[in-house]
Amino acid sequence: MTTDPRPIVALLIARSATVSTAESLTGGRLAALLTSVPGASACVTGGVVAYATAVKVAVLGVPLELVAAHGVVSRECATAMATGARDLLGTTYAMATTGVAGPDPQEGHPAGHVWVAVAGPEGTETRLLDLDGDRAEVQDGTCREALSVLEGILTREEPTLG
């Protein structure tokens, strides 16, 4: 894991912003990374581990029609998960992870095929990942990339001093 959650938590706190997570293949690891930072309670409100499709639909509000049309391993599902978590938990930002940790394929996608999404006030940013390694390496890589997307958004949105 190369992306350090500490500067992300610091940026969120400095802006009085909050974050939540909606995790499938990472099973709570992303929330655990964020909450490992002292003081994270000032910005992390919670998360949903939506490993099963039924939880994505019932708790996060991912439409069944979206799942039928695109599957759960898709940009569309990642976007709906992030938006659903942001709405459900009332946060400024929400990060979502969905994909295939392996070893077996899912929905015709190989292990390491992962979508991450970050929903925020300016919209939702997604990233398709093609990760190598075993389950743990795919999960760690997914968390690293999700943090990277959020950090990129926060850095771009950083107010300039004038």
Segment 110-139 shows an average pLDDT of 98
Name the strands in the sheet holding 123-130, side by side, starting at the edge strand that comes first in the sequence.
44-49, 19-23, 93-99, 113-120, 123-130
Average pLDDT over the chain reads 95
* Cis peptide preceding 103, ω within 30 of 0: yes
Q: Where are the domains of the chain?
A: 5-156
Which ranges of 3-134 would DSSP assign to H, the alpha helix? 5-14, 29-35, 53-58, 64-70, 75-89
Virtual torsion, Cα 70, 74, 80, 84, nearest 10 deg: 120
Q: What is the pLDDT of residues 17-45, one digit of tens each?
A: 999 999 999 999 999 999 999 999 999 99
Q: Does domain 5-156 have CATH number 3.90.950.20?
A: yes
Q: pTM higher than 0.75, yes or no?
A: yes
